[in-house]
Structure 1
Amino acid sequence: MSSVIEPAGRTGNAPFFSKAATVAQPGFSRWMVPPAAFAVHLCIGQAYAFSVFNGPLTKVIGITKSAPDDWTLTTLGWIFSLAIAFLGLSAAFAGKWLEKVGPRRTMFTAACCFGGGLIVSAIGVWTHQIVLLYLGYGVIGGIGLGLGYVSPVSTLIRWFPDRRGMATGMAIMGFGGGAMIAAPLSVALMNHFKSATSVGVSETFVVLGVAYFISMSIGALAIRVPPAGWAPARWTPPATATQKMITRNHVHIDQALKTPQFYLIWLVLFLNVTAGIGIIGQASVMIQESFKDTVTAAAAAGFVGLLSLFNMGGRFLWASASDFVGRKNTYFIFFALGAVLYYFVPTFAATGNIALFVLCFCLILSMYGGGFSTVPAYLADMFGTAYVGGIHGRLLTAWAAAGVAGPVLVNYLRAYQIAHGVAKADAYTMTVHVMVVVLLIGFVCNLLVKRVHDKHHMTEAQLAAGN
């Protein structure tokens, strides 16, 4: 199959950051787009490694051990929750803006926000002002996460209408794999900068902020969009009769909010994310407490990196598989298998079986990541591709909600049990059993998803007018 575009009109002297300036010219290969998208997602995927900072951040004043005025884990847990919340909110509100200005400007703005947020957070650590970490990493950095997340996805779906799942998997696996690099890198940087007066976190934030800004900017400069009417050579859209859950029609962003399918898929994503994101936020601490005196901080960082590897790989493999088994069937696997794995996790922890404990969470994280990469294709199948970027952005409010719900469940249920005499090693049992129920509810929501009614489809005239 040829992936070289057909001749397109000149963009003339369009401003460098305008959408017109990013339209691909003749001879451009669509396979140049995934690396640019991957570069951006690999950077913002650092969010999944934030748990490696939690331990050192509880010792900013005490250095070697927590002092009375040091931050607690429950206080620090809100940094990650805020980042995910603003990821979803910024993606939702910027959806129409993305469609208007194009991916280059959106991705560069993301680079400024994410890199700048880390710098503000560094100042917060230096001055020991938790509000600056909430503002820097949580709010500003979270906005960078949202803008950087949604813009490459909608672009790739347009370049790969023949392999929607694979295309979104190629980009979003970078987000899942960011921690694989960020976790050991962050630990190494903190050890390098650590001194008698510093735990090394603030200096590490500065280095990461500058490095991620540069890398994301390169991705933004390299991104291109296909010209109007472009399609892969020798490819024709599948007939609706043979692909009942893949539409050839389009639904407007605002109209999508009037369909039950949007809210059912919203719940599907919310429940799948809730079941995994709280564990990610406390992965390093969780495995050390579950296997006390057995798992070191360095080994726990390796565990975080391993989860990142499966999170990344699952995003590509599960999304690619969904091109063949269907998006709905893929989510059935996520919810059913995930519930079984969560049910047996406490048993493996209680018996000291680290290998099966790690394997369960690796599989869970592969499906957690697969849920993110499969949902844009799910939306394109249900609502068409004309406004999939904006619809995807609004759906990511489910991620924002789960970014609060998941960590709160893990952190506060853990704190409640410890306060009532439960050993730290057993403090996650109730939480993972709650996750089993969450996943079973998600199974039912996915079961209820049907094709969108014809009354919601846009007419040719509306498509031509853009409304």
Structure 2
Amino acid sequence: MVYSKVKDLVLKHYGDAVYVRSDAQLAREEWLIPGVKFNRWVLPVSAFFIQICCGSLYAWSGYNAPIEAAIYGMNGGVDRGMASTTFYIAVAFFGCTAAALGPWMERKGPFIGCMAGTALFFFGNLMTALGVYVNQIALVYIGYGIFGGAGLGLAYISPVSPLQKWFPEYRGLAAGFAVCGFGGGSIIAPYTQKYLIGLDYQLDVVNNVNLGVPLTFVILGAVYFVIMSLGSLVLRMPPPGYEVKGIKIDTVKGAETAHQDIVLHNSDDVTDFSTSTNKVDNPPQTDFNAHFKMTLWESIVSTEFRLMYIMFIGAQITGLMINSKIQGIVSTQFGKTGNEPVNINAILGVLNLLGRMTVPYMSDYFQNRKIFFIISCVVQFVMLGLIPYSIWNQYYGLFLFEVFTIAYFYGAGFGLIPAFLSDQFGSKNIGPTHGIILTAWAMTGVFGGLIFTAVYNSGYNSHYYALEGATKKTWNPADYKYHVYDVDFQWILAVIAVGLISASLIPNSLRDRRLPKAQGEVFRFRLGPRLVRFVGGKFVIVSKADEDKEWGAYLASVAKGQTLAAEQAFLVSSSTA
């Protein structure tokens, strides 16, 4: 009984989201401002500035030491591991809010969604300022972690959905523009935070203070509120019936060109649709998308969505952990002080931004998102595997190359995933599916961050005693310093490997997902361009010609079925009349 009610509520919430607008609202949305017609190319600019503000989240590591110094007192800048918890809480509520309110945003529209997120983020900054002022870390957790994270999650997805709908022919480019500003925020925010708070504030509050921590949150929160509010005014969904080059908002990638794949064959039970002289509709008149499109619920419970969820964890975990700890790693492991840790944090933001812009565009050119996720996992696996070697031997240049590469592909994953989801399930479902898949990132931030911190903190308690002998309860500070992250990097490597396997198994083309199974087929996969079936206990490689013939016959049968259904409907209506 309870299960049934819960299921009904979930189905109702994640059912197909319909955004209803009046004629008056549609007329208003034709204009950007009075006298200036709306043009879809202003949307990427608006999204960029909104995301710059959201991207300040990635500069949180610069707050850790100043907040702890303000609340607990100076200790030479050593990370107590208290303020950093705020980042993981914010990531958790970021993802969960995006997932829970994605359908709500689709029903209410991107303007209301973005403004609600903006207000929550502003309130979170004000509460954080109060928490630091009264020396209560719990208020920081609640303010920035819960309210701020929730606001960022809602504001983040609000520009993504309309951009995927307005640019169906450039889904990768639209996704890159929609989220690239997030990387830009991590470039600017470290410097604004540092100079507003004061240089080396955590080392000497008396002599290095400028405006201090509380006032910094108030000022930046207000600035973010103004910029995000102005950006939200531009956001809007396309009008009903909008399409570009035959691609609509609910078009599943491949459906718009399916008629081109119908081939001549000798099967007597399937009509030849290769010419326009048939009595039935020819292929271009067949609505294949009506057959292949998926509801929101069908999308989120599909096998490919589950595989994409696991893939996203593996592709993003390394960058997330590195971003949350980079300033501490640079200062404690390599002895860099002053502006150096902040500069490195900012450069990571640059690479993050470039990854979000360039890789999605390349995926448009090659018409393949999956291969870029596979490349991302492989490259990050290699780079992370080399980082301990760089730290042990103090190869700072090599370390920077490794983390910069990780940041690039970390950003690429965020730029790719909206387009990948639109390809698989149609851009009509992008808001909710994108929100739900961001919980993968959120779970990584919470559980990954907690595991990372716990392993880090336990390093000097037991593991590193063995460096000087089991009976000797002391350890070499140098050994501790250069090996403290080893175990953390090892378990993250395992997570990347699982993500790589999942990415490889995703059926990303319409043919792989919908081609009917052969008799006795258990599962299938691609070996390069060739389809491989597991049938009767053995692997069978299908020739390209046979695969094309099967697919063409299947599409022809779909077209024939639609024609017969249309004819029957016509006969029924005629007899009724």
- Shorter-chain TM-score: which interval? 0.7 to 0.9
CA deviations over 1:206-249 (Å, ceiling 9, x no partner): 11110000010010012232212223368798524889xxx954
Deviation at 1:94, TM superposition (A): 0.7
CA distance in 2, matches of 1:440, 1:193: 39
Residue 210 (structure 1) aligned with residue 212 (structure 2): no
Residue matched to 2:425: 383
Amino acid at match of 1:262: F
CA distance in 2, matches of 1:99, 1:337: 35
Residue matched to 1:447: 504
Residue matched to 2:486: 429
1:231 to 237, 243, 252: 243
Residue 148 (structure 1) aligned with residue 155 (structure 2): yes
Residue matched to 1:465: none
Residue matched to 1:3: none
Deviation at 1:418, TM superposition (A): 2.8
CA distance in 2, matches of 1:190, 1:34: 32
CA distance in 1, matches of 2:241, 2:449: 44
Q: Secondary structure at the match of 1:367?
A: helix
Residue matched to 2:50: 40
Relative contact order higher in (CA < 8 Å, ≥ 6 apart): 1
8 Å CA contact retained: 2:109, 2:236: no
Q: Secondary structure at the match of 2:308?
A: helix
Higher-strand-fraction structure: 2
Residue matched to 1:464: none
1:173 to 177, 180, 185: 180
Name the % identity.
Answer: 30
Amino acid at match of 1:239: T
CA deviations over 1:326-350 (Å, ceiling 9, x no partner): 1110011001111111111111122
1:100 to 103, 107, 115: 107
8 Å CA contact retained: 1:278, 1:409: no
CA deviations over 1:358-415 (Å, ceiling 9, x no partner): 1110110111111111011111111112222111111211111111133223322211
8 Å CA contact retained: 2:314, 2:500: no
1:91 to 91, 95, 98: 98
Tell me, which stretches of 5 or more residues in structure 1 are unaligned?
1-9, 462-467
Residue 364 (structure 1) aligned with residue 406 (structure 2): yes
Which protein shows a greater Rg?
2
Tell me, which stretches of 5 or more residues in structure 2 are unaligned?
1-20, 249-253, 262-287, 465-478, 516-557, 566-577
CA deviations over 1:264-308 (Å, ceiling 9, x no partner): 10111122222221111111001111112xx11410010100001
Deviation at 1:72, TM superposition (A): 6.0
Q: CA RMSD in A?
A: 2.9
Question: Residues 284 and 35 (structure 1 numbering): CA distance in 2 closer, same or farther, change over 3 Å?
Answer: same
Residue matched to 2:317: 274
Q: Secondary structure at the match of 1:229?
A: coil
Residue matched to 2:284: none
- TM-score, normalising length from structure 1? 0.87
Question: Residues 447 and 138 (structure 1 numbering): CA distance in 2 closer, same or farther, change over 3 Å?
Answer: same
CA distance in 2, matches of 1:65, 1:37: 41
Residue matched to 1:315: 356
Q: Secondary structure at the match of 2:244?
A: coil
Deviation at 1:424, TM superposition (A): 2.6
Moved more, 364-373 or 432-441: 432-441
8 Å CA contact retained: 2:71, 2:137: no
Residue matched to 1:258: 301
2:346 to 298, 305, 323: 305
CA distance in 1, matches of 2:133, 2:153: 27
8 Å CA contact retained: 2:318, 2:384: no
Residue 184 (structure 1) aligned with residue 191 (structure 2): yes
Residue matched to 1:54: 64
8 Å CA contact retained: 2:68, 2:82: no
CA distance in 2, matches of 1:234, 1:446: 29
Moved more, 351-360 or 44-53: 351-360
CA distance in 2, matches of 1:392, 1:28: 26
Residue 290 (structure 1) aligned with residue 333 (structure 2): yes
CA distance in 1, matches of 2:500, 2:62: 32
Amino acid at match of 1:394: I
Q: Secondary structure at the match of 2:237?
A: coil
Amino acid at match of 1:60: A
8 Å CA contact retained: 2:30, 2:37: no
CA distance in 1, matches of 2:399, 2:200: 33
8 Å CA contact retained: 1:58, 1:66: no
Q: Secondary structure at the match of 1:222?
A: coil
8 Å CA contact retained: 1:193, 1:204: no
